[in-house]
Amino acid sequence: MTEVFKGSFTQQEPIPEEGIEAALAVMRSGRLHRYNTAGDEVSEVALLEQEFAARMGVPYALAVASGGYAMATALRAVGVKPGDKVLSNAFTLAPVPGAIASLGAVPVHVEVTEALTLDLDDLAAKADQARVLLLSHMRGHICDMDRLMEICEGAGVTVVEDCAHTMGAKWRGQWSGTHGHVGCFSTQTYKHMNSGEGGFLITRDAEAMARAVVLSGSYMLYERHLAAPGPEVFERVKYDTPNISGRMDNLRAAILRPQLARLEAQCAAWTARYAVVEEGLRGTPGLQVIERPPQESHVGSSIQFLAPDWPAARIEALVARCAARGVELKWFGAPEPVGFTSRYDSWRYAPVAPLPRTDRVLAGLLDMRLPLTFSLDDCATLARIIRAEAGALFQARE
């Protein structure tokens, strides 16, 4: 009998009961705006920022409306201006080059490797073209951060990390998002904490954080932040930093605080599911799993694998055959964007230079979400279905 998977790839876990109760309290108060507090009350957003900064081991954190807003704000805070070039991964999702373009800046794409990380040789060759790198840890894959920081520091390149897929991940025991000058995170529904939309910036740079707070729409209420620099820093930046409002509200912060408290357990649960699928796919004829380096502690909320040198028609057949059995795969080599999936040459607002190594990787790259609503047995089923369909297609190849 042919197995068919019945689970939903977009169904998330429910919000923890503590978050629901806290959200109800916020709604009953009517004080959803982060600065709308009564008496000596501290807002949910300010408490969340304080807790997130403490978790990440940095002095400053800012909660904002989305991960994309976090990236654009970080770029502005480190001085990116219209017309500036910004280095970034050729393999990422559209909000990353979109954050660059939103400032009138110009993305400069850097090749990626078969490990799905930034090609550090190509970065070294292009480091003199820009003074900022927006580094995307795409789909949770972390490059050699020691070498990356050595290249960037040597070339005078400021690093802004996009950690939308690496909240809770580490490189050599150090939190993702704390290697570069600013770390940016997302709490969109499909990320590691779920507030529908939302995000964070973290940094150790007092002036960059002061600018980010003013940019986010603090007006002159910055003293209500618990994870921000002192008023003397704001005095230096408040008159020449525009308000581009993108604050997080108390309702979302209330939902997130209990999720932050259980983040490590959630990350471990994702990685356990990833391990089951990875082991089930390993050795599948024609497919190649992405080997993770020992220095990386990853969070397996999605899994990627390669079908190297498969013709497009065979990959399309694999996606269709798996879909017929309830397994949703995304193909990053498709010529047209599908849903959230697109490739660097789809972003026609950015210059496109030849990227042959990236093209070869994307041509065979397949991706699958692993929501925590899937059990370990579910994950084993997913791997069996993919393995069976891939094996049949590979065996039948001409």
* pLDDT tens per residue across span 190-218: 999 999 999 999 999 999 999 999 999 99
Mean pLDDT of all residues in 356-379 = 97
Check whether residue 69 and residue 41 sit in a common domain.
yes
Q: Is residue 271 part of a domain?
A: yes
Neighbours of 396 (CB within 10 A): 9
Q: How far is CA 230 from CA 184, 210, 233, 237, in A?
A: 22, 9, 6, 12
Distance, CA of 242 to CA of 219 (rounded, Å): 10
Check whether residue 58 and residue 24 sit in a common domain.
yes
Q: Which of 6, 81, 170, 191 is catalytic?
A: 191
Model pLDDT for residues 60-78, shown as the tens digit of each residue:
999 999 999 999 999 999 9
Q: Is residue 41 part of a domain?
A: yes
Give yes or no for residue 257 having a pLDDT over 80.
yes
Among residues 261, 289, 321, the one where a domain terminates is 261
Per the model's pLDDT, the better-predicted residue between 106 and 394 turns out to be 106
Check whether residue 346 and residue 231 sit in a common domain.
no
Give yes or no for residue 345 having a pLDDT over 70.
yes
Model pLDDT for residues 281-294, shown as the tens digit of each residue:
999 999 999 999 99
Structure tokens at 18: 């503590």
- The pLDDT assigned to 128 comes to 97
Mean pLDDT of all residues in 174-196 = 98
pLDDT band at 141 (very low <50, low <70, confident <90, very high): very high
Alpha helices in 262-351, H assignment, sequence order: 263-281, 312-324
Q: Is residue 238 part of a domain?
A: yes
Q: Is residue 141 part of a domain?
A: yes
Check whether residue 287 and residue 198 sit in a common domain.
no
Percent pLDDT > 70 in the chain is 99
Give yes or no for residue 353 having a pLDDT over 90.
no
Check whether residue 239 and residue 324 sit in a common domain.
no
Mean pLDDT of all residues in 128-141 = 98
Structure tokens at 243: 């308000």
* DSSP, res 87: E
Mean pLDDT of all residues in 236-256 = 97
Percent pLDDT > 90 in the chain is 93
Check whether residue 312 and residue 340 sit in a common domain.
yes
Could you tell me the pTM of the whole model? Answer: 0.96
160 contacts 184 by C-beta, under 8 angstroms:
yes
- The pLDDT assigned to 362 comes to 96
Check whether residue 156 and residue 253 sit in a common domain.
yes
pLDDT band at 398 (very low <50, low <70, confident <90, very high): low
Give yes or no for residue 350 having a pLDDT over 70.
yes
Q: How many helices (H) and strands (E) does the chain have?
A: 13, 14
- The pLDDT assigned to 1 comes to 61
pLDDT band at 342 (very low <50, low <70, confident <90, very high): confident
Mean pLDDT of all residues in 310-330 = 97
Answer yes or no: 191 catalytic: yes
Please state the length of the chain. 398
Check whether residue 268 and residue 217 sit in a common domain.
no
Domain of 300 in residue numbering reads as 263-395
Check whether residue 226 and residue 183 sit in a common domain.
yes
Check whether residue 349 and residue 251 sit in a common domain.
no
Distance, CA of 172 to CA of 319 (rounded, Å): 35
Give yes or no for residue 81 having a pLDDT over 80.
yes
Q: Is residue 3 part of a domain?
A: no
Our count of domains for the chain comes to 2
Q: What is the mean pLDDT of the chain?
A: 96
Check whether residue 117 and residue 137 sit in a common domain.
yes
Q: Is residue 1 part of a domain?
A: no
82 contacts 103 by C-beta, under 8 angstroms:
yes
Among residues 261, 285, 305, the one where a domain terminates is 261
